[in-house]
Amino acid sequence: MIESLLNKAKRVCQQAEVFWVTSQNTDASFEANRLKSVETRQGRYLSLRIVKDGRIGYSSTNKIDNADEILQMALDVAKFGAVAEFELPSLQSYPNVEVYDDNVNQVSIEQMVDLGNTMIAAVRDHNAEVICEAGVTKNAISVTLLNSNGGEASYNKTSFSLGVEGLLTRGTDMLFVGEHESSCRPLSDVSKITNTTIEQLERAKETASPIQGQLPVVFTPRGVAIALISPLVIAYNGKNIVQGSSPLVGKLGKSMYTEELSIYDDATINYRPGCRICDDEGIPSRRTPLIEHGNVANFLYDLQTAGMAKAQSTGSANRGGGLPSPSPSTLVVAEGTTSIEDVIADMKQGLVIEILMGAGQGNTIGGEFGGNVLLGYKVENGTIVGRVKNTMVSGNIYSTLKEGVIIGNTSEWVGGALQTPSVYCPSLPVTTQS
């Protein structure tokens, strides 16, 4: 089907590309401490991108019986599509990136159910009043890409995810805790997830008295993922660079952040679910520095945005149901030199933030982050004394991630797509409702 569609398209277009994905997914979900349902999904997705008279046409479907209809839909669009600023790649050589493990396919539903029950039992063993939801998921996808310039790529990828979320309710007071993890290989050890969850419960045992003002704040790796990553990354998207809407336009090579901060986008790490041999346009995967020692190092491009910016694609094309668009693959924040535990021990008064609710809702392209501290703790004289409530924190990465920020010296994977240490910000505005 995909070869014949490409051949049909080639006859009437200057360039054509077929992208074909099939997927299989099994999900065991737990509600109110017990198994609720088992779901299996089969899916497929075919998309056709063409360049006709210099303009881009696009269509997609999961109905694969009618190549003519798919081509016609793309041709309709190409009449007034954007002007193509790229040549599709010819046959490339790809790096070796391991993202498939057949053992994932071999995990039985019964084993998945056991993992879920083990996570819930561990958390409830610590506190029987916690009500848990949990999920255990396995996925397998197969990707094939063919284009009219001889470009060709195909790979299989598996992934396996575990997650637990606990809710502790007292009166109308609610405490949410939890952790999740994913890998391209089966996960059988739930202890990292349950230990993190139990540590959250312990740290949040007491409710601390409210604090406000300009305060030092530590974002844990989970806190970094929620609060800081989206404003940091949106500015590197080639689309925002081409449009001039990124605050980093014209700042390539310039120092914008503390010297201690380095961030890489790396699509080549073995067994990480965001990694792969090539991007969704067949450009080989690579490791791209975004920030090196505080300097803006590179922006993320796919073929079209690279063409518009007179730059090279960074192998960052991703498809989310439409035309490819640049986005990061797997982000790695380089470790600093200071122990965050020591920083907390030296803190007179401040916050440690795990979950900042609503952080990505504001003006992220302007660098802003802010929200309600859904899970965070108060530090008093170097010790975590309890959970804070009714507290808001806000900031802007361009004024915050400067001198005085400390990057921790031990990093953690957060949900399989980000590796980061904790980050200390010396002064952020904190407001509280009395």
Partner 1 sequence: MRELIADALKGHNADYVEIRLEDSKSSRIQYRGRDLEDIGQSTGSGGNVRALVNGGWGFISFNDPDELRVKVELAVKQAKLVGNEKSVIARSDPIVDIVPLDLRKDPLAVSLEDKKSLLDEYIDVIWSTPNIQTSTVGYGDSFKKVVFANSEGSYIEQSRVDVTARITAMARDGSDVQQSGISIGSKGDFGAVEGIHQQVKDCAERAVQMLSAPKVKGGQYIVVLDPILAGVFTHEAFGHLSESDFVYENDRMRDIMVLGRKFGKPLLNIVDGGAVPGYRGSYKYDDEGIPSTKTYLIKEGVLVGRLHSRETAAKMSERPTGNARAINYSHQPIVRMSNTYIEPGATTFEEMISGIKEGVYAKNWYGGMTSMEMFTFSAGEAYMIRNGKIAELLRPVVLSGNVFTTLENIDAIGNDLDMNQGGGCGKGGQSPLPVSNGSPHIKIGDCLVGGS
What residues numbered 69-108 form the site for partner 1, per CB under 8 A? 69, 73-74, 76-77, 79-82
Angle at 15 between CA 19 and CA 237, to 5 degrees: 60
* Residues whose CB is less than 8 angstroms from the CB of residue 151 and which lie 6 or more positions away in sequence, other chains included: 17, 88, 89, 90, 91, 92, 145, 282
Q: Considering the rule CB under 8 A, would residue 7 count as an interface residue with partner 1?
A: no
- Closest CB to partner 1 among 40 and 270? 40
- Residues touching partner 1: how many (CB under 8 A)? 77
**Amino acid of residue 218:** V
**Residue 68: φ, ψ to 5°:** -65, -40
Q: How far is the CB of 77 from partner 1 (least distance, A)?
A: 5
Q: What pairs with residue 428 in β-bridges?
A: 215
Q: Residue 189 Cβ, how far from partner 1 at the closest point, in Å?
A: 24
Binding of residue 319 to partner 1 (CB under 8 A): no
* 218/308 with CB nearer partner 1: 308
Compose the 136-155 pattern: x for residues touching partner 1 by CB under 8 A, - for all others. Answer: --------------------
Is residue 68 a contact point for partner 1 (CB under 8 A)? no
User: What sign for the dihedral angle of Cα 86, 87, 88, 91?
Assistant: negative
Helix 67-78 and helix 2-12: axis angle, to 10°?
40
Residues numbered 398 to 427 that lie near partner 1 (CB under 8 A) are 398
361 binds partner 1 (CB under 8 A): yes
Binding mask 276-295 for partner 1 (x = CB under 8 A): --------------------
CB of 422 to partner 1, least distance (A): 22
180 binds partner 1 per the rule CB under 8 A: no
Question: Binding residue for partner 1 (CB under 8 A) from 131, 297, 309, 311?
Answer: 131
What b/e sequence results for 277-298 when a residue is b if at least 16 CB atoms lie within 10 Å of its CB, and e otherwise? bbbbbbbbbbbbbbbbebbbbb
Near partner 1 in 260-279, by CB under 8 A: none
Q: How far from chain centre, in Å, is Cα 123?
A: 26
CB 19 within 8 A of CB 47: yes
C-beta of 117: minimal distance to partner 1 in Å?
12
Stretch that binds partner 1, among 2-10, 334-342, 361-369, 401-409 (CB under 8 A): 361-369
Q: Which stretch binds partner 1 (CB under 8 A): 96-104, 162-170, 191-199, 344-352?
A: 162-170
- Is 132 in contact with 163 (CB distance < 8 Å)? no
Looking at beta carbons only, is 94 or 398 nearer to partner 1?
398
Contact between 133 and 95 (Cβ < 8 Å): no
Query: In which residue are the tokens 């004394």 written?
Result: 385
Taking each helix axis as running N to C, give the angle between helix 109-126 and helix 191-203, from 0 to 180 degrees, rounded to the nearest 10.
Answer: 20
Binding-site member from 393, 401, 418, 425 for partner 1 (CB under 8 A): 393
311 is a site residue for partner 1 (CB under 8 A):
no
Q: Which is nearer to partner 1, 37 or 93 (CB)?
A: 37
d(CA 393, CA 369): 8
Site string for partner 1, 196-235 (x = CB under 8 A): ----------------------------------------
What is the C-alpha to C-alpha distance for residues 167 and 85, in angstroms, rounded to an integer?
51
- Which span (177-185, 326-334, 367-375, 379-387) binds partner 1, by CB under 8 A? 367-375
Considering only residues 2, 309, 385, 392, which one is a binding residue for partner 1 as defined by CB under 8 A? 392
- The DSSP secondary-structure symbol of 377 reads E
Characterize the bridge pairing of strands 213-219 and 349-357.
parallel
